[in-house]
Amino acid sequence: MSVHVSAHSGHAHDDEAAVERALDRLRARGHRITGARHAVIEALATIEGHPSADQLSEQVRELHPTVHRATVYRTLETLATLGVVTQVHVGGSATTYHLAADATGHEDHLHASCRVCGRIIDLPSDLLDPIKRRIADESDFRLDPPHIALSGTCRTCQ
C-alpha cells in the first residue's frame, strides 16, 4: 500500500516553531535532546502528511546524512512513547507518523485511509466521541482512535 505524502508547503517559520515546541516538550519532561531526536523531529516538521518510517528515514538522510535508518526507527518509537510523535496504524503492517498536536499547534485529529490509493485524510478529533463513550460504558474499554486509521474509499477512488 502506498502512503500519500506531499512536499511541505508551509512556512519555514511554522516548521521551526513546531520543532522548538516538540523539543521544549522533551526538555520539560526531563528527556535529552539527542542529534537523532532533533533530526527526526525536524524531518517530521518539514514533511506534510503522514509519512512512513521509510519516508522519514529518507528525509532525515537528506537533512542529516550521518543518522542511520535503524536509529530513525528506534527514535520514532521513543518519541511516540514520549508523546511527541503520533503513530497511526493504517492497516496491515503499515504505520505512519506525525508530530503530536502539542508540537504543531494544531488540534489533534483522527485518520481515514483509502484502501485504493492509500491517501490518509484527517478527520475532526471529536468525530468518534459518542462511540468512545458507548464502548467505555458497555465494555469497560477505552478506545484510542488517533492511533488507528479508519479504512474506506476516498471520494476520488469511489
Query: Which residue bears the cell 477505552?
Result: 142
**Residue 153 in marked binding region:** no
Catalogue all structural domains in the chain, each as residue range(s) with its CATH number. 5-152 (1.10.10.10)
For residues 143-153, average pLDDT: 90
Structure confidence by residue, pLDDT tens digits, 60-98: 999 899 999 999 999 999 999 998 999 999 877 689 999
pLDDT beyond 60 at 138: yes
48 is in an annotated binding site: no
Confirm if 7 and 48 have CB atoms less than 8 A apart.
yes
Q: What is the pLDDT of residues 1-16, one digit of tens each?
A: 444 443 333 434 478 8
Comparing C-alpha atoms, which of 35, 50, 46, 74 is closest to residue 123?
Answer: 50
**117 assigned ligand-binding residue:** yes
Is residue 19 marked as binding? no
pTM: 0.79
Judge whether 53 and 76 are in contact, CB under 8 Å.
yes
Helix (H) or strand (E) holding 22: helix 12-28
Tell me the pLDDT tens digit for each residue of 29-44.
Answer: 999 999 999 999 999 9
Of 45, 60, 57, 157, the C-alpha closest to 112 is 157
**DSSP three-state, residue 12:** helix
**Angle (CA) 89 92 94, round 5°:** 50
